[in-house]
Amino acid sequence: MAALDNGIITSSLTTLNRSFDVSATWGAWTITIYTLGLSISVPIIGKLSDRFGRRRLFLAEIALFGIGSLLVALSPSFIAFLAARFVQAMGGGGIFIIASSYVLNTVRPERQGRALGMLGGMNGIAAVLGPNIGSFILDITGSWHWLFLINVPIAILLFILGWKHVHETQKLEEAKIDFGGIVVMSAAILLLMLAFTNLDGADLASSLLSVPFLAQAAGAIILLALLVWVEKRVIRRSNEPILPIGLLGRSAFRLTLLLSFFSGAILASVIFIPGYVEQFLNVSSAHAGYWFTPLALASGIGAGGGGALVDKKGPIFTMVTACVLGIAGFLLFPLWVETGWQMIAASCLVGLGFGIMLGAPINVLVTENAKDNKGIALATSSLFRQMGMTLAPTIYAGFLARSFAGMGETLTVNLAEADIAVPATAMEQSGKLTNAASLQDALQYIPDASVKEMIMNTLHKAVSSGYNGLFLSSMAVCCATLLSVIWLGAVRRKERERTAAAAGRSVG
């Protein structure tokens, strides 16, 4: 329910903008505010679950998400809608984290991989299928309100089932709540995520040097430095900090957070596949989303199988397998894919790869030696994944924007070389064609078949160039992930050797 929400709403952005009479720029805040809310709530809820108990926080999160969904559906204005979306995000942020933490504390170690794999599979499938489910609900009901109202009875049912079947098994912390750390960390995360969301993929270098980005990024860095100072003071007072200072001191934990960031970047790449199907394979927009289905099924299979693989071979071997599958899948897109069945084959490899990655291995790695701090360890990992999912689309979209930027000029040159005469006004308009949709719309006004063919060839080359860059950059992220996994494996071996040597000296 929580993972579906952002995917579902993407299918209704145009409807929502029209309903509230807001621009597309303002409308994008329906997703941005939810992302910001998740980023803030995830680490806080993870830590609070260690103090107040997973059962209590799980029920509170379910209730808050249900209440937020109801408030969104009943919003009388766009400002109220955004406020309700933030409430909804504060409820949705901890559900998956608490569930994962609960599994790690109640399921036998030899079966934790399978259980975490199933959770990860649900999360991954929900994120991928969200746009299709949103379109289906809109088609059936004709109203965007039902996208959120449908969550209310589900939340009520989950609350009842959770109250009855989820039992508290952990020893609760008695330390005071670190309110100072919560405030500073929330402000730092807010500024950092705002900086990411304001980047322009078409001109990334300029946006990285822009005053708003530099100001927000600098503010986030200052607040993070302040957070470390605050948390050290909390530790000196023998209280429990919101930031896992002890865990961050371990190389293995820091490397696992890097893996979480990369996994978010890999997951973000798949949201472009419907556009690829529509623009490169010429599938209608009404059906392009359904081509997600094989990838979603593959991710579910990968998550379950990856969990079993963790139980048998360990998290490092499993992550290496996931990276190899991802590298192969992303590489096939620019080198091989020309038809629908080829695209399905490549996307299934990608789905298997990120499904395995999102399931068990990273969660198992990040909670190693976390002891009673598994909740905050999982939450920190989830935060880094969310950061990857926020930053990566800007970079990926930049490849598409740059490939379309010179499309009008390229078309003009191609027409001139082919000695095809086009009116001057049309030539002037061609320079304004900056995306696939504008070119496709222009085709219906062109009677000359040779000109149409020229436009389609130009479009195909631009689309191919943009998406090739996108998929190759995704492959590069998979390669970086693989190198990080190998590095992490070496660090874990050294840590075990040091532990064994210390144990030997103690016995001696």
What is the residue type of 288?
Answer: A
Tens digits of per-residue pLDDT, 111-124? 888 888 777 777 76
Give yes or no for a contact between 164 and 62, defined as CB atoms under 8 angstroms apart.
no
In 3D space, the residue among 381, 392, 339 whose CA is nearest the CA of residue 357 turns out to be 381
Mean pLDDT of all residues in 118-140? 75
Angle 389-390-392 from CA coordinates, rounded to 5°: 70
- Delimit the domains of the chain by residue range: 1-175, 179-239
Q: What is the model's pLDDT at position 174?
A: 62
| Exposed e or buried b per residue across 54-82, where buried means at least 16 C-beta atoms within 10 angstroms of its C-beta | bbbbbbbbbbbbbbbbbbbbebeebeebb
Which of helix, strand or coil describes residue 239?
Answer: coil
Contact 237, 181 (CB under 8 A): no
Q: What is the mean pLDDT of residues 467-480?
A: 94
pLDDT of residue 360: 83
Average pLDDT rounded to a whole number, residues 231-237: 81
Q: In this structure, how many other beta carbons lie within 10 angstroms of the beta carbon of residue 309? A: 24
- Round to whole Å and give the CA distance between 373 and 247: 9
Angle (CA) 282-287-291 rounded to 5° is: 85
Task: Please give the average per-residue pLDDT across 354-375, as a whole number.
Answer: 82
pLDDT tens for 35-72 read 778 878 877 887 777 777 788 888 999 999 999 999 99
Prediction pTM value: 0.83
Distance in angstroms between the alpha carbons of the first and the last residue of the chain = 55
CA angle 168, 173, 176 (to 5 degrees): 135
Note the pLDDT tens digit of each residue in 410-451: 666 666 666 666 555 554 554 445 455 555 555 555 656 666
φ/ψ (deg, to 5) at 242: -75, -30
Superfamily designation of domain 1-175: MFS general substrate transporter like domains (1.20.1250.20)
> Rounded to an integer, what distance in angstroms lies between the CA atom of residue 131 and that of residue 128?
7
Tell me the percentage of the chain whose pLDDT exceeds 90.
23
